[in-house]
Amino acid sequence: MIVKHVILPNRLRKVPRSFGWIDHRLISDRHIERLCHGSAALYLFLVCAGDENGLSYYGDKSIMEKLSMDGRTLDKARSELIRAGLAAWQKPVYQVLCLEPGGKDRASGSPTGLGDILKKAMEVGHD
């Protein structure tokens, strides 16, 4: 067994007031292995930019500038995240999705899009 020790004690991470988190299942459930570099970079950006519900609304131009991507790479990355069930997008809003097995909605077994999520939220609000 490898014994871990802190390499730079004066640089230990602390949870800041504004905090984004990445679910460890991104690795343990092998989601990350199915992503190209551009998709992984976009996912990291969306996790960091998202609010407590995983929502962010950065425009394509801003994302491309911040990630040094061209439009084609961004389109491919976004499509890959959506197909993988890791993100939903309804211009201009992105949502980072929970990491359910296979990126599927537990109840229906089908991919969950932002429209479906908002529809469910509206139904719950009217009960």
> What residue spans of the chain are helical by DSSP H?
25-28, 37-49, 60-67, 71-83, 114-125
- Whole-angstrom distance, CA of residue 111 vs CA of residue 109: 7
Kindly list the domain boundaries of the chain, sorted by start residue: 7-103
pLDDT digits (tens, 9 = 90+) for 32-59: 999 999 999 999 999 999 998 999 999 9
Q: Within 13 Å, how many C-alpha atoms sit on residue 56's CB side?
A: 20
Residue 9 pLDDT class (50, 70, 90 cuts)? confident
pTM: 0.72
Three-state secondary-structure class, residue 72: helix
Three-state secondary-structure class, residue 37: helix
Three-state secondary-structure class, residue 55: strand
Class of domain 7-103: mainly alpha
Arithmetic mean of pLDDT over the chain: 83
Mean pLDDT of 59-76: 98
| pLDDT above 70 for 105 | no
pLDDT at site 118? 54
